[in-house]
Amino acid sequence: MILKRKLGQGLEVSEIGLGCMGMSFGYGEVHDVKPMSELIHKAIDLGITFFDTAEVYGPYINEELVGQALKPFKNKIVIATKFGFDIKDGKSVGLNSRPEQIRKVAEASLKRLQVDAIDLFYQHRVDPQVPIEDVAGTIKDLIKEGKVKHFGLSEAGVEIIRRAHTVQPVTALQSEYSMFWREPEEKILPVLEELGIGFVPFSPLGKGFLTGKIDTSTSFGQNDFRATVPRFSEENLKKNMKLVDLVKQFALQKNCEPSQIALAWILAQKPWIVPIPGTTKINRLIENAGASNVSLLPDDLQKINQALSNIEIVGERYAPASQKMINR
């Protein structure tokens, strides 16, 4: 059974969400609407109430898919979407979080999602050309107008989080976090705990790496963004397989799947962390949801963390162009 958790400002969601990006964007294939709608409906059957999308996924088609699939359930679920990019001729051409752009995106997202208000509206990436106070102030106004319910940030650093939070309380930060990428533990998580902000890790399975389904012979298609990720290069993949071996070892001990160990580990870190693994396969969805039933005791966590500390992850998590958009 999937339990509920509360993000900042009292937003209640299932403790495991569903990242919908890969249904339409990023992994080399745009999946048909019907099977993806069925997958989303299966997620609801499993107790998942938290769904993540963005205007730039596609662009636009992922929001349309999510909006149509969730239309019959809109009073029972939480949809998060994002603003922050300029999109021209169907492609992202750079960052844009100017107030007028935020408002434009909000109106368009409301229509595509077929909702009266956006439950959680993230700034997708920090725009260095626009003061975060202006961004937060715009969201504050949209909340007053009833068009947005909660404000979120994505891949923001400590200073930006603090400055935004003073203007409009931040409900959640969405950033990458997993056994494969633990940087947020150093500075980000302490600030979120101090300010009462929830944390929504994307890629909690290390972009599929922690499922154990990727090995040294795996190759990624031209349209699969992992083909450009340094830590998935042939040389680095071989070195990073030590982590997969470790996760498989603990999964055997707990009689569960590697992905379930990876998600249970995240859930055990803090009660205000809600991972959003993505998938396009029903069996993987069921597997991910099952992580809620995997209990890691303090002794288990100590052993896992000790083992993790002895493994060095090799390679950056993004190609250089994407890496530049990360605010720290």
- CA atoms of 130 and 114, how far apart (whole Å): 29
**Element containing residue 237 per DSSP (H, E):** helix 234-254
Within 8 A by CB and 6+ apart from 118, the residues are: 79, 81, 106, 109, 110, 147, 148, 149
Annotate 179-211 with b (16+ C-beta within 10 A) or e (fewer).
Answer: bbbbebeeebbebbeeebbbbbbbbbbbbbbbb
Q: How far is CA 173 from CA 20, 22, 122, 222, in A?
A: 17, 20, 8, 30
Residue 50: count other Cβ atoms within 10 Å of its Cβ.
Answer: 28
Annotate 254-286 with b (16+ C-beta within 10 A) or e (fewer).
Answer: eebbbbbbbbbbbbbbeebbbbbbbbbeeebbe
Side chain identity at residue 228, one-letter code: T
- CA atoms of 206 and 216, how far apart (whole Å): 15
Tokens of 262: 């990876």
Whose structure tokens read 């229509």? 111
- CA atoms of 62 and 54, how far apart (whole Å): 7
In the residue annotation, 177 being an active-site residue is answered as no
Among candidate residues 57, 60, 122, 318, the one labeled active-site is: 57
Q: Which residues are catalytic?
A: 57
